[in-house]
Amino acid sequence: MSSLKNEAIDLTYRLQAERIANIISDATVSHIPEIYMIKTEEKLFENIISRFDRAARIIKLDNHLYQILRNPSREVTTYLPVHLDNGQIEMFTAYRVQFNVSRGTLLGSLKFAEDITLDEMRAGAAWSTFKCAVVDLPLGGAQGGVVCNPNKLSQGELERITRRYTADMLDIIGPERDIICPDINTDERIMAWIMDTYSMHVRHTERAIVVGKPVQMGGNRGGTTLYGLGILVTLREAIRRLGLTPENTRVAIQGAGRRGGSAAIMLQEAGFKVVAISDIDDGVYNPKGLDVKAAMKCFSEQHSFKGFSEAEHITTEELLTTSCEALITAATHSQITQDNAAKVNCRILSEACDGPTTLAADPILYEKGVFIIPNIIANAGPAISHYLEWVQNHQGFNWRQDEIEALMEYRLTSAFRQIEEAVEKYAVDFRTAAYIKAVQRAAHDLKLRGIYA
């Protein structure tokens, strides 16, 4: 039986034992909700907090630190009146959640979508906090969103929504408070609008208010290609751990945007065999390996793979059960659930987006012996890139792309191997070890600063 299988079974027994006996002393956190319970539905914030709870129990986190790190610092809900092109005014609901500032300035994305909820914003802010902590960035986490359908809005309407959002959040955002980065349906153009709006209000050009912006305005050289680097580096570390090589590692990627699309190209260039990639509408599959550049060229021109004739077409759901060594989920949350986890057919699951795996799916994957690279490390590459952009904006000096890539690779590799050490020290799975490292760093800084109450 493989060591990975033993690790999965050991985890199951440890979870059962923890439910029977509470070994936490009165001086440390207690009464933490049970985790990994089988549910048909779950809230995203519950997803990350349940995993935080497990890490907190294992390291016996002091109760007062636990209470602070488990909750957001601030939640803002606002309603944006925006002039539409037809002359009417429509109200758009918008959010900004700031999770924890103990490690420094907040970093949080902004997304536009119809299904955004406050719960999702809480989860995104928490994930951002622990991503930054696990790769040892001096940043906290935030998350923002506007409830809208960008596909039904003109460019002028999107600009007015963006500028009004920025104006409404002026009291809580800023280069030393909360810096904004792109997410679903937002891009470098929207970051430029935010930067301009903020700059007009503070009466000077302030580049460091946003990251992920155009190079000409202080953005990183390399742009969106840097989004895939974190996926490549962490997957390379995972195959080292499992004794694989790029040449014998077939990769399937759900998601063809900034993360998945750039990762597909970089992985193929690094010697991996990319056999499948999908977007929300369609996917392509070739067991001998895709011509990734040709497939992505088709996607960039048509915003779909439907016109790509050099491979078999599959659905995004079929991609999740494709036979491969590495499955990369780079689309959206709650993709692998208790309903399809047993059908997942990979050795490595790289969570290259926030919350792709539900709590109920975890024990099924562990029993199957799947090695999970959790999103707080697999999806931490953009956070490092954004941090470096923020630093260079303060310095007024832009690094070369190879310097940025070298710094990103160093931090990701170091973080991965520190998590491996935590796996051995605490006898836990890799996901739990990642949360342990993140929680320890956040708690350490919070304890040193003290609690102003």
Q: Domain for residue 20, yes or no?
A: no
Neighbours of 204 (CB within 10 A): 6
For residue 266, pLDDT over 60 is answered with: yes
Distances (CA, A) of 119 to 45, 77, 123, 144, 295: 6, 12, 6, 11, 35
Whether residue 365 is found in the same domain as residue 256: yes
- For residue 425, give every residue at least 6 positions away whose Cβ sits within 8 Å of its Cβ, in sequence order, or none: none
Whether residue 170 is found in the same domain as residue 256: no
Residue 373 lies in domain: 225-378
Whether residue 104 is found in the same domain as residue 177: yes
Residue type, 312: E
Name the CA dihedral angle for 202, 207, 211, 214, rounded to a multiple of 10 degrees: 130
Q: Domain for residue 214, yes or no?
A: no
Q: Domain for residue 47, yes or no?
A: no
Last residue of a domain, one of 208, 243, 273: 208
For residue 3, pLDDT over 70 is answered with: no
Q: Domain for residue 383, yes or no?
A: no
Higher pLDDT among residues 341 and 222, named by residue:
341
40-63: average pLDDT: 90
Adjacency order of strands within the sheet including 74-83: 74-83, 89-100, 140-147, 106-113, 178-182
d(CA 449, CA 69): 14
What percent of the chain has a predicted confidence (pLDDT) above 70?
Answer: 91
Predicted model pTM = 0.90
Whether residue 332 is found in the same domain as residue 266: yes
Percent of the chain that is helix, strand, coil (3-state, to 5): 50, 15, 35
φ, ψ for residue 316, nearest 5 deg:
-65, -30
Q: How many CA atoms lie within 13 A of 171 on its CB side?
A: 5
Residues in a beta bridge with 146: 94, 112
φ, ψ for residue 158, nearest 5 deg:
-65, -40
Q: What CATH number does residue 330 fall under?
A: 3.40.50.720
Whether residue 264 is found in the same domain as residue 169: no
Whether residue 239 is found in the same domain as residue 295: yes
d(CA 350, CA 358): 14
Whether residue 321 is found in the same domain as residue 362: yes
Q: In whole numbers, what is the pLDDT of the chain averaged over residues?
A: 91
Q: Quick: pLDDT tens for 350-390.
A: 999 999 999 999 999 999 999 999 999 999 999 999 999 99
Last residue of a domain, one of 318, 346, 378: 378
217-225: average pLDDT: 87
Whether residue 145 is found in the same domain as residue 117: yes
Q: Domain for residue 50, yes or no?
A: no
Whether residue 360 is found in the same domain as residue 287: yes
Last residue of a domain, one of 208, 236, 266: 208
Q: Domain for residue 416, yes or no?
A: no
For residue 8, pLDDT over 70 is answered with: no
Q: What CATH number does residue 135 fall under?
A: 3.40.50.10860
- In the chain, the number of structural domains is 2
For residue 288, pLDDT over 50 is answered with: yes
For residue 50, pLDDT over 60 is answered with: yes
State the angle between helix axes of 226-242 and 401-426 in degrees (0 to 180), rounded to the nearest 10: 40
The pLDDT value given to residue 34 = 37
Whether residue 171 is found in the same domain as residue 237: no
Whether residue 259 is found in the same domain as residue 361: yes
d(CA 64, CA 270): 46
Neighbours of 156 (CB within 10 A): 11
Q: Domain for residue 317, yes or no?
A: yes
Q: CB of 108 within 8 A of CB of 141?
A: yes
Residues in a beta bridge with 100: 141
Q: Quick: pLDDT tens for 91-129.
A: 999 999 999 999 999 999 999 999 999 999 999 999 999
Q: Domain for residue 409, yes or no?
A: no
The pLDDT value given to residue 384 = 97
40-62: average pLDDT: 90
Whether residue 198 is found in the same domain as residue 262: no
